[in-house]
A and B are shown apart, each in its own frame.
Chain A
Amino acid sequence: MTAAVLEEKSLPGTELVAVPRGIVHIQTQNLTLSRGGRILFQDMNLTVPRGKLVSVVGASGTGKTSLLLALAGLLQPDSGSVLYYGRDERTHLPHAFKHEIGFVFQELRLVPNTSLLTNVLCGQLGRQKWWKTLFGFSRTHQGAAYELLRQLGLADLIHRNAGETSGGQQQRAAIARALMQQPEVVLADEPVANLDADNAALVLKLFRRFAAEKGITLVCAMHDMALVDKYSDFVLELNERNPSAWSLAQVR
């Protein structure tokens, strides 16, 4: 990303966190969203640098999931916009960037009677033409999917149907599917909610490695503050009572 592009696009006076020029990845402008007649957050101006992990925290019902859905373009905000500064040095609206956004749903949404390996490979679908995936996936992609599952401790279960695995195993597979997409951005809704301490650490360390090595930016809804403090770069806190009182703070 060149400084020239950024100067043109960035809005002065909206950044709460000092972000060095040229590395902005996600930017929201006056983002406002309400659900069921209640405003969840108002005039949210975020500037998220590339390759960082942002934890979204706040009591349940404050709009963590809705924010992630709005960032992904799956939920229409009341007003404001979300912009992505892609690797291709262009700005994108969410719906035009969906191939680059890996989303981990809270309810995981794996295909139950399909193997974990195939479920993970499904992350690749958006990058392939349909006739190329009609008879399965290439050896290279299968290898990559296996490697992801192995890193998440699921090597022994790759041929097990998703519906026959535990909640924690499914959660890790859903994360692997999002990473298999080779995304620029991962939006994860409670990615470690079903995991024990060891596996939560495993996932968050993997997230940090992907952020550092591949420049992936991650936005994760979280509730365990100890994990938030230990693994995130930024914390975005939503306020239950005052939708304007969201805050973004740098952890490290």
Chain B
Amino acid sequence: MSDSKDTSSLPQIPPLPWHQRLNLMSISALLFLGAALASMSAMKGSGRELDYWQNLKRFVYRCLPPDFSVSADAFKALGETIQISVLATFFAILIAFPIAIAAASNLSPLWLRSIVRLFMNANRTVHVLLWALLAVVLVGPNPLAGVIALTFYSLGYLCKFYSDSLESLDMKTAEALRANGAGLIQVFQYALWPQAKPFIWSYAIWMLEYNIRSATVIGYVGAGGIGLLLHSFQEYGHWDKFAAVLLIILVPVTLLDFLGERIRNKITGVARLKQ
């Protein structure tokens, strides 16, 4: 070939040594691949001869047609679920905001924000079901347990989002007002809060959406709401009723997702435009 002749006249490209190809990304990706291979034993299931396809078909047939005679109960429980998430979000916003100020690097001294962040990180590692279990132990299986569980669950997230938003604020306007002799509270109220407000509210809406989804699950451990209903139908094998309840959950949650995202984009989009 004529090509091979040409390449011999080209300068030799110095090869990249193998150890320079290894960086944190390639190493961790390799480790992950290795871990995936090593975890294959989890794929073997129970080891019994089961016809998965037949199982799925049987399950779907038992769900169909959904028995909407449970609608009245389901809507009542759904209302309770929404109440739980609205209240939990409300309390979480109130508690998270001052904590977020204490966790923001531009507003809080190092010692304070280190302590606050430690607690908030710990808070985020606790799953919502664990919070729910704890709350049920404290106040018994009722909607109050749900409110408590979701409030604590939301706190970690809202604190993180809120302190990040506060840290991204333009401090120059604040300094300008400080230079004219304004006090710290005045500077916060007039220079920082107007900038932070859209992000605070947008994250609150996101948290509400998230909590309504989570609130359906925590009923499984007794913390009130529609999850309780799902759990009992599952226990008794009333899959047609189970399916009806699922559909009743699905519609408002999807709607809220769609609406919430549009509202959030609008709020923060306008805020970004204004900056």
Q: Do A and B come from one complex?
A: yes
Supplied contacts A111-B191, A113-B195, A163-B273, 4 more A-B pairs, CB within 8 Å: A111-B195, A118-B190, A126-B177, A129-B183
Number of A residues with CB within 8 Å of any CB on chain B: 32
Q: Which residue of A lies closest to B195 (CB)?
A: A113
Contact (Cβ within 8 A) B175 A113: no
Which of the 9-residue segments A5-13, A16-24, A101-109, A227-235 touches chain B? A101-109
Assembly CA distance A111 to B181 (angstroms): 16
Provided the pairs A109-B172, A111-B195, A113-B271 are in contact, do residues A125 and B179 lie with their beta carbons within 8 angstroms?
no
A residues apposed to B, CB below 8 Å: 72, 74, 98-99, 101-103, 105, 107, 109-114, 118, 122-123, 125-130, 133-134, 161-164, 178, 181
Contact (Cβ within 8 A) B275 A112: yes
Residues in B neighbouring A109, C-beta threshold 8 A: 172-173, 175-176
Provided the pairs A109-B173, A133-B189 are in contact, do residues A98 and B275 lie with their beta carbons within 8 angstroms?
no
Cβ-neighbour of B194 out of A111, A130, A178 (below 8 A) = A111
Contact (Cβ within 8 A) A103 B273: no
Contact (Cβ within 8 A) A122 B179: no
Interface SS of A by simple majority: mixed
B residues apposed to A, CB below 8 Å: 170, 172-173, 175-177, 179-183, 185-187, 189-191, 194-195, 197-198, 271, 273-275
Q: Which residue of A lies closest to B186 (CB)?
A: A125
Contact (Cβ within 8 A) B173 A111: yes
Contact (Cβ within 8 A) B186 A130: yes
Assembly CA distance A107 to B171 (angstroms): 13
Residues in A neighbouring B175, C-beta threshold 8 A: 109
Residues in A neighbouring B271, C-beta threshold 8 A: 113
Interface SS of B by simple majority: helix
Residues in A neighbouring B182, C-beta threshold 8 A: 122, 125-126
Assembly CA distance A110 to B274 (angstroms): 11
Assembly CA distance A127 to B182 (angstroms): 8
Residues in A neighbouring B185, C-beta threshold 8 A: 130, 134
Residues in B neighbouring A163, C-beta threshold 8 A: 273-275
Assembly CA distance A161 to B187 (angstroms): 18
Residues in A neighbouring B191, C-beta threshold 8 A: 111, 122
**Closest CB-CB distance, A58 to chain B, in whole Å?**
23
Contact (Cβ within 8 A) B179 A74: yes
Assembly CA distance A103 to B182 (angstroms): 13
Query: Which of A72, A125, A133, A181 has the most chain B CB within a 10 Å cutoff?
Result: A125
Cβ-neighbour of A112 out of B177, B181, B274 (below 8 A) = B274
**Closest CB-CB distance, A65 to chain B, in whole Å?**
14
Contact (Cβ within 8 A) A126 B180: yes
Assembly CA distance A101 to B181 (angstroms): 9
Contact (Cβ within 8 A) A98 B186: no
Contact (Cβ within 8 A) B275 A123: no
Cβ-neighbour of A99 out of B180, B186, B190, B198 (below 8 A) = B180
Residues in A neighbouring B172, C-beta threshold 8 A: 105, 107, 109
Q: Which residue of B lies closest to A99 (CB)?
A: B181
Q: Which residue of A lies closest to B172 (CB)?
A: A109
Contact (Cβ within 8 A) A125 B180: yes
Contact (Cβ within 8 A) A122 B181: no
Assembly CA distance A130 to B184 (angstroms): 9
Provided the pairs A118-B190, A123-B180, A134-B189 are in contact, do residues A113 and B173 lie with their beta carbons within 8 angstroms?
no
Provided the pairs A110-B173, A111-B173, A112-B274 are in contact, do residues A98 and B194 lie with their beta carbons within 8 angstroms?
no
Assembly CA distance A125 to B185 (angstroms): 10
Assembly CA distance A102 to B182 (angstroms): 12
Contact (Cβ within 8 A) B180 A114: no
Contact (Cβ within 8 A) A111 B180: no
Q: Which residue of B lies closest to A132 (CB)?
A: B186
Residues in B neighbouring A113, C-beta threshold 8 A: 194-195, 197-198, 271, 274-275
Residues in A neighbouring B173, C-beta threshold 8 A: 109-112
Provided the pairs A109-B172, A111-B194 are in contact, do residues A72 and B189 lie with their beta carbons within 8 angstroms?
no
Assembly CA distance A155 to B228 (angstroms): 60
Contact (Cβ within 8 A) B274 A164: yes
Residues in B neighbouring A129, C-beta threshold 8 A: 183
Contact (Cβ within 8 A) B275 A130: no
Contact (Cβ within 8 A) B195 A122: no
Provided the pairs A107-B172, A109-B175, A163-B274 are in contact, do residues A126 and B181 lie with their beta carbons within 8 angstroms?
yes
Selected A-B contacts with CB under 8 Å, 30 pairs: A72-B179, A98-B179, A98-B180, A99-B180, A105-B172, A109-B172, A109-B175, A109-B176, A110-B173, A112-B170, A113-B194, A113-B195, A113-B198, A113-B271, A114-B194, A118-B190, A122-B177, A122-B182, A125-B177, A125-B181, A125-B187, A126-B177, A126-B180, A130-B183, A133-B190, A162-B274, A163-B273, A163-B274, A164-B273, A181-B180
